[in-house]
Amino acid sequence: MEHSPPSAAPANTPVGRVIGVCVGLALLVGAITLAFAWPSSDIGPNELPIAVVGPPEAADQIQTRLDAVEPDGFDVTAAADVDAAETMIKEREVYAALATTPDGVTLYTASAASPMVARLLTGIAEQMAAQSGGPGAALTVEDLVPMPADDPNGAGLAASAFPLAVGGIVIAALIGLTVRGSGRQVAAAIIAPLGVGATVAAILMYVLESVDGDFLSIAGALSFTMGATAWAILGLLKLLGRAGLAIGAVTVMLVGNPLSGMSGAPELLPAPWGEFGQFLTPGAGATLLRSTAYFDGHGAATAIGVLSTWAVAGVVLFTIGAVRAKVGAVGADDREAVPA
C-alpha cells in the first residue's frame, strides 16, 4: 500500500516582512491618530467672521481689541443696525454680532451654526462688558437660531459626521464589489443614497431629535452628500480597481472627516485646513446639512457646488472605467483561438 508523502509545512514568514508589517501598522495607526486628534488639539478662531453694530470705526476698534488677544482670530464687519446684523447671521454671513452701549453689551448669535462658537463668543462678550462698564455691566445674549431643546449642544449633529462620511464609502464599496454590470451599478448608486439619506434623516429628526426642519429637505441634503462621496469613490474603483477604493476611502475618512468642521466650525480648525476641508465631501456635506436644517438653505451654495463637482467627477471616472472594461472584453473575445 502506497503512502503519499506528507505535504511540506508552509515556510515561515521572513523576518524582514514581519518587521515591515509592524512598522507599517505603527505608521498607519499613527496617521489615523494624527488625522483625528490634531485638528481637535489646536482648536481656536481663525478669521472667524463676526459683525459689530455701528459705523466702520466701531468695527475697527473691536477688531483691534480682538487682534490684541487673538491675532488673526476674527474677521470683523460693520453692520448698519441690529436688523442688518440679524440678517447677516440668519444668512450665514457671520456667526454673531456685537452691539455695545453705555449700559452693556448685547450679543446676537446663532448656536445652530456652532454651539462651540456661540460659547466662545459669549465668553468674549462677557469680558468686553466687564471692561466697558465694570463688573455690574449687563450682558444680553439673544440666540437668533438656537439648537433644538432636546440637543442644545449639538451632540447628535456632531455625531452624524461619521455616518455622513462612511455612508458614501460603504455604498461605493458594496456596489462596486458585489453588483455586476455597469447599468445595475448606476441604478444602485442612484437608489442607495436616497434610502440611506432618508434613514439617517429619520434617526436625526425623530430618534435623536437633534435636527429640526423639513424631512425631505434634510434627507435630500444627506442623500446628496453620500451620493457625491459614493460616486467619487465608485468612479475611482471602476477605473483603478481596489486601489481606487483605498484612495477614496482614505481621502474621505482620514482627511475629509477630521477637517469637516461638523463638531465645531471650519474657522476653529488650524488654518488653512478648515477652509481646505470645505472642498471635500464631508466638509461640504456638513455645511449643507446645517444650512438646510436651520438656515433655510442660506450659506449652502458653495457646498452644493463642491458636492456636484465630486459627483460629476465620479461619473466621468466611472464612464471611462466602464468603457475601458468593455473595450478590453471585446479585444479578449477577438483574440480567442479559432478551431481549424
Higher pLDDT, 311 or 15: 311
Q: Is residue 321 part of a domain?
A: yes
Domain housing 98: 48-143
Q: Which of 118, 143, 168 is the last residue in one of the domains? A: 143
Q: Is residue 75 part of a domain?
A: yes
Contact 72, 46 (CB under 8 A): yes
Q: How many domains does the chain have?
A: 2
Shared-domain flag, residues 191 and 120 = no
Shared-domain flag, residues 135 and 175 = no
Q: Is residue 29 part of a domain?
A: no
Q: Which of 143, 166, 181 is the last residue in one of the domains? A: 143
User: What percent of the chain has a predicted confidence (pLDDT) above 70?
Assistant: 89
Contacts of 248 by beta carbon, 8 Å cutoff, 6+ apart: 169, 172, 232, 233, 236, 237
Residues 104-116 pLDDT 10s: 789 999 999 999 9
Q: ∠216-220-223 over CA atoms, to 5°?
A: 135
Contact 284, 227 (CB under 8 A): no
Shared-domain flag, residues 84 and 122 = yes
Q: Is residue 79 part of a domain?
A: yes
Shared-domain flag, residues 58 and 182 = no
Residues 285-304 pLDDT 10s: 999 999 999 999 999 999 99
Rounded to whole angstroms, the Cα distance separating 216 from 232 reads 24
Determine the straight-line distance between the first and last CA of the chain, rounded to whole angstroms: 46
pLDDT of 9: 61
Q: Where do we find the cell 480567442? A: 336
**Least confident window among 19-33, 60-74, 210-224:** 19-33
Shared-domain flag, residues 167 and 202 = yes
pLDDT of 286: 94
Q: Is residue 40 part of a domain?
A: no
pLDDT of 72: 86
Shared-domain flag, residues 163 and 62 = no
Shared-domain flag, residues 236 and 99 = no
pLDDT of 2: 55
- 27 pLDDT band, cuts 50/70/90, is confident
Shared-domain flag, residues 138 and 176 = no
Q: What is the pTM of this model?
A: 0.85
Q: Is residue 150 part of a domain?
A: no
Q: Which of 95, 110, 143 is the last residue in one of the domains? A: 143
Shared-domain flag, residues 128 and 195 = no
Specify whether the backbone of 113 is left (phi greater than 0), alpha (psi in -120 to 50) or beta: alpha
Shared-domain flag, residues 226 and 270 = yes
Shared-domain flag, residues 187 and 295 = yes
Shared-domain flag, residues 222 and 249 = yes
pLDDT of 133: 62
Higher pLDDT, 100 or 7: 100
Q: Is residue 18 part of a domain?
A: no
Rounded to whole angstroms, the Cα distance separating 125 from 314 reads 46
Q: Is residue 203 part of a domain?
A: yes
Q: Which residue type, as a one-letter code, is found at position 147?
A: M
